Amino acid sequence: MNNARNTAMATALLAMLAACGNDTSDGTGGSALDALIKTTADAALSRRAAKSDAPASAPKTPQEAAAEALRVNPGPLIQVGFEGLGKTQIMALTGQNGSMRTYMTPSEEALIMRNGILIGTRGLGHDLSVAEPQTEALIRSGRSGSAQRVMRYFAGDGKERPLQFTCTVGAGPKPGVTVEDCHGHGTGFQNSYIRQGGQITVSRQWIGPALGYVTVQTLRP
């Protein structure tokens, strides 16, 4: 009963974050962003095409998938929704180094989180190598302020490309939501976070120009 109630509550919070989101990307960014988009676009299209050829099966709702995962897996779990890919997955904790946690699917797609903030991705194609958010202290405390954020990406040529953004952190339009509004290279994105008990339990965060936003919900800490 508690698991079902928590899942329903988190689903409502995710919907609230999606409503708060404001993707201001215009696709006309500077040379670094243009190069990254160019090298990732074909890969993203190929992934979608490959998935469309897979045999159809009756999909579980996110609530059903979460309830089943909580029943069969006793460890820490998150539920992630990739808005650009149109899919929702359960990821289980597979490794931890200090405050850094790696959550992974059976197909080895992974998110790397630090205290609820997305730090990197693996196995998704042209991944976010590492995020360096100097806004982290502001986000976790709920304070307002400005700081830099660097996002480093693996491009199609195998090289790592850094993109730097200037971000402003403050209260969102909904009570309890903290918003991180970032701009640079002619584009912008807006991350949203909900903190409960000192922890970020639900969030909507930008991975990059190819994958767009991911929502992350803690099912079991």
In this predicted structure, what is the pLDDT of residue 27? 41
Note whether residue 166 is domain-resident: yes
Q: Which helix (H) or strand (E) holds 212?
A: strand 212-220
- The CATH number of residue 84's host domain is 2.40.360.10
Note whether residue 143 is domain-resident: yes
In this predicted structure, what is the pLDDT of residue 138? 96
What mean pLDDT do residues 55-76 have?
84
Judge contact between 184 and 164, C-beta under 8 A. Answer: yes
Note whether residue 49 is domain-resident: no
Note whether residue 186 is domain-resident: yes
pTM: 0.76
Residue 26 CA to residue 61 CA, distance in Å, equals: 32
Note whether residue 213 is domain-resident: yes
Describe the strand order of the beta sheet including 145-154 as a list of residue ranges.
Answer: 117-122, 110-114, 100-104, 87-97, 77-82, 212-220, 199-208, 187-196, 177-184, 160-171, 145-154, 128-133
Percent of the chain residues past pLDDT 90, beyond the cut: 58
Which of 49-58, 152-161, 163-172, 203-212 is predicted least confidently?
A: 49-58
What mean pLDDT do residues 183-191 have?
95
Note whether residue 39 is domain-resident: no
Which domain range does residue 202 map to?
62-220
In this predicted structure, what is the pLDDT of residue 30? 46
Number of domains forming the structure of the chain: 1
In this predicted structure, what is the pLDDT of residue 96? 97
Note whether residue 42 is domain-resident: no
